[in-house]
Amino acid sequence: MFGFLKKNFLYFVIFFTGAAVLIIEVLATRILAPYFGTTIFTVSSIMGIILAALSVGYYVGGTIADKKPTLVRFFRIILIGGLSILFLSVLVTHLLPVVGSFFSIINGPPILAFLLFFIPIVFLGMLSPFTIRLQSKICSKEGVGSISGKAYFWSTLGSILGSFSSGFLLIPFFKTQQIIIATGIFLILLSTIPLFFLSKKKIILAIAIILAIFLIGFSVKGIGQAKFLEDGEIIYQEDGVYSKITIVDSQKNNRPIRYLLLDKSMSASQFKDNNKPGFDYLKYSSLYKASFKNPKNTLFIGGGAYIGPAQYINELENIVVDVCEIEPSLFRLSKKYFTIPDSNRLKNHIKDGRLFLSNTSKKYDLIFGDAYRGLFSIPAHLTTEEFFKLAHQKLTNNGVIILNVIGKVEEKKHSFLLSEIKTFQEVFENSYFLATKDTKTKEYQNIIFVGYKDKGVDLSSEKTKNKLEIKDISSKLINPGDFDLAQHPILTDDYCPVDYLIGRSLLQERI
């Protein structure tokens, strides 16, 4: 038994260090999401930086291993890796909230991914070639090919464990900072215990332990201190499964208001003095009245604080509202912190909206889309022609779809808004687009897309305007004919550069 452990001990070690690499990689998306969203830029930057760091680690680790392949040096590399992960937690707590807002969603992810994650992963990447070199000394009769295969097998197997445990065990139950600190502590323990018996320089261990305690203390001191609104009071803040959930009490027009923030995006708001929605765009949810008086079945894609669904439940006696919201805790939090009716007509589904639509046999009078994964970014699969065709199919004969899209009403080369208008018109021939602020402003605003399955509905007629009770609706209408839509692509499941189009627009803002 002792002989088996001696021969395979290093494989067990790199199994756990491989798990640490993937835990950090999965957490990296959660760390950067509050500042840049979970866009393709964020995901690809993290993957690229991690792979680059591993490549450098493999090269440097192999070089050092050939010069002095000792167990003491091997475990010191793990120790430094653990300390660098604790230092990462310090940067996430104190540096990222300060510098994160200075970068765009295009250039921010690669720069900050490099600053935060490159060094820790380099040290962890050094361990695989080091293991191969040491194992060749321990098992001199075993071939290098066999040893290399076993080393990368155990390291990769550990990475698989790290990937699954992050998504299914760690992130749902622990804060991001807690997981980072625990990973760093684990690596330090994994190295200091063997070094206590192998190393003669105990002073180095003592210094490392003191440094680790200092880094942990400095990290913990900053947890939960981020402020999203200067004049607001945070009454709840925890990591959700997909984003950081923050609930803030503040003031708007000298009235008390409560906000829900997902990462840094204001997802919902409600005035505390009358429980009315704090965002004006929700009044356009009444556009269904152009089609029928009392919709029976309604689907909300994106629940937020469930203020829109609650509005329908309170105003319409017989309506049944299905809500698709992928963040599991939002329904419970909304009932606790916002005024949401406890009604069996409000049905919550913790499921992706498009997947729900694909699987349901139900037909809806109204579909309201308001799902976001960042400040401006709608999940790509909810923007395509195929999604709109699916929604069209699931509407009743006089049904209506209403979407909340954030954009700028202007002609430019890279415009997500104009591409989305063109895509929407391909499916909904009778469609309208309303600017909630002003059609002439060059600022970002909520743009309401509305498509009627009944081709006879005329949103600009006086008869329809009287039904809607929305003031100055004519002045809000955007005329797609004013733009050269031919130069803008139709968004499809096969070609949907949503993050690129939005990122280019935001980058131009900064320039």
pLDDT tens per residue, range 259-290? 999 887 888 999 999 999 998 888 888 888 88
Residue in this structure with the two tokens 């890279």, named with its chain if needed = 414
If we measure between CA atoms, which residue out of 150, 115, 123 comes closest to residue 54?
A: 123
Contacting residues for 273 by C-beta, under 8 A, at least 6 apart: 255, 256
The answer to whether the CB of 29 falls within 8 A of the CB of 46 is yes
pLDDT given for residue 185 in this prediction: 94
Kindly report the CATH number assigned to the domain that includes residue 218.
1.20.1250
d(CA 126, CA 124): 5
Buried b (16+ CB within 10 A) or exposed e, 342-373: eeebbebbbbbbbebbeeeeeebbbbbbbbbb
45-54, 59-68, 203-212, 433-442, range with the lowest pLDDT: 203-212
d(CA 265, CA 504): 19
SS3 346: strand
Q: Are residues 182 and 310 in the same domain?
A: no
d(CA 415, CA 411): 8
pLDDT given for residue 481 in this prediction: 92
Q: Are residues 207 and 309 in the same domain?
A: no
What band does 227 get if pLDDT is binned at 50, 70 and 90? Answer: very low
Q: Helix 108-125 vs helix 2-36: angle between axes, to the nearest 10 degrees? A: 170
In a domain, 249, yes or no: no
Cα separations in angstroms, 265 against 127, 233, 245, 382:
40, 16, 10, 18
pLDDT tens per residue, range 195-205? 888 877 777 77
Report the amino acid identity of residue 348. N
Q: Helix 71-90 vs helix 2-36: angle between axes, to the nearest 10 degrees? A: 20
DSSP 27: H
In a domain, 122, yes or no: yes
pLDDT given for residue 4 in this prediction: 55
Q: Are residues 213 and 313 in the same domain?
A: no
d(CA 64, CA 70): 10
pLDDT given for residue 469 in this prediction: 67
d(CA 395, CA 297): 10
The answer to whether the CB of 334 falls within 8 A of the CB of 247 is no
SS3 369: strand
d(CA 163, CA 204): 32
Element (H, E) at 447: strand 445-452
What is the total residue count of the chain? Answer: 511
d(CA 468, CA 454): 17
Q: Is residue 510 scored above 60 in pLDDT?
A: no
**Residue 46, Cβ neighbours under 10 Å: how many?**
24
In a domain, 251, yes or no: no
Q: Are residues 10 and 159 in the same domain?
A: yes
What band does 7 get if pLDDT is binned at 50, 70 and 90? Answer: confident
pLDDT given for residue 224 in this prediction: 44
Domain boundary among 206, 222, 238: 222
116-120, 401-405, 435-439, 484-488, range with the lowest pLDDT: 435-439
pLDDT given for residue 98 in this prediction: 84
The answer to whether the CB of 400 falls within 8 A of the CB of 286 is no
Q: Are residues 211 and 317 in the same domain?
A: no
Q: Are residues 342 and 199 in the same domain?
A: no
If we measure between CA atoms, which residue out of 314, 337, 185 comes closest to residue 268?
A: 337
In a domain, 342, yes or no: yes
The residues that bridge with 395 in the sheet, in sequence order, are: 364
pLDDT given for residue 137 in this prediction: 84
Q: Are residues 209 and 62 in the same domain?
A: yes
1-15, 169-183, 423-437, range with the lowest pLDDT: 1-15
Q: Are residues 9 and 113 in the same domain?
A: yes
Of 102-106, 122-126, 212-216, 224-228, the range with the highest mean pLDDT is: 122-126
Domain boundary among 203, 222, 241: 222
What band does 27 get if pLDDT is binned at 50, 70 and 90? Answer: very high
What band does 411 get if pLDDT is binned at 50, 70 and 90? Answer: confident
Domain boundary among 222, 253, 271: 222
Question: From the centroid of its chain, how far is CA 431?
Answer: 30
d(CA 266, CA 83): 35
Higher pLDDT, 301 or 144: 301
Q: Mean pLDDT in the chain?
A: 88
Q: Are residues 318 and 459 in the same domain?
A: yes
15-29, 111-125, 193-207, range with the lowest pLDDT: 193-207
Q: Are residues 10 and 155 in the same domain?
A: yes
Q: Is residue 84 scored above 90 in pLDDT?
A: yes
Q: Is residue 408 scored above 90 in pLDDT?
A: no
In a domain, 59, yes or no: yes
Q: Are residues 174 and 318 in the same domain?
A: no
Handedness of CA 484, 374, 40, 303 (dihedral sign): negative
In a domain, 182, yes or no: yes
In a domain, 252, yes or no: no
The structure's pTM equals: 0.80
Higher pLDDT, 44 or 199: 44
Question: From the centroid of its chain, how far is CA 130?
Answer: 36
In a domain, 440, yes or no: yes
Contacting residues for 459 by C-beta, under 8 A, at least 6 apart: 287, 290, 432, 450, 452, 473, 477
What is the total count of domains within the chain? 2
Structure tokens at 417: 């808004």
Please state, for a pLDDT cut of 70, what percent of the chain lies above it: 94
pLDDT given for residue 435 in this prediction: 93
Please state, for a pLDDT cut of 90, what percent of the chain lies above it: 57
Mean pLDDT of 439-457: 87
Mean pLDDT of 216-233: 60
Q: Which domain holds residue 375?
A: 280-510
If we measure between CA atoms, which residue out of 335, 157, 118, 329 comes closest to residue 242?
A: 329
Kindly report the CATH number assigned to the domain that includes residue 493.
3.40.50.150
Considering just the CA atoms, what is the radius of gyration of the chain in Å?
A: 27
What band does 5 get if pLDDT is binned at 50, 70 and 90? Answer: low
pLDDT given for residue 2 in this prediction: 47
What band does 40 get if pLDDT is binned at 50, 70 and 90? Answer: confident
Q: Is residue 30 scored above 80 in pLDDT?
A: yes
The answer to whether the CB of 139 falls within 8 A of the CB of 202 is no
Higher pLDDT, 310 or 105: 310
pLDDT tens per residue, range 375-396? 667 888 999 999 999 999 999 9
d(CA 469, CA 461): 13
Of 101-105, 228-232, 388-392, the range with the highest mean pLDDT is: 388-392
459 CB-side CA count, 13 A: 28
Question: From the centroid of its chain, how far is CA 353?
Answer: 16
Q: Are residues 284 and 137 in the same domain?
A: no
d(CA 216, CA 390): 50
What band does 225 get if pLDDT is binned at 50, 70 and 90? Answer: very low
d(CA 313, CA 334): 15
SS3 323: strand
Q: Is residue 183 scored above 60 in pLDDT?
A: yes
At residue 490, φ and ψ (nearest 5 deg) are -80, 135
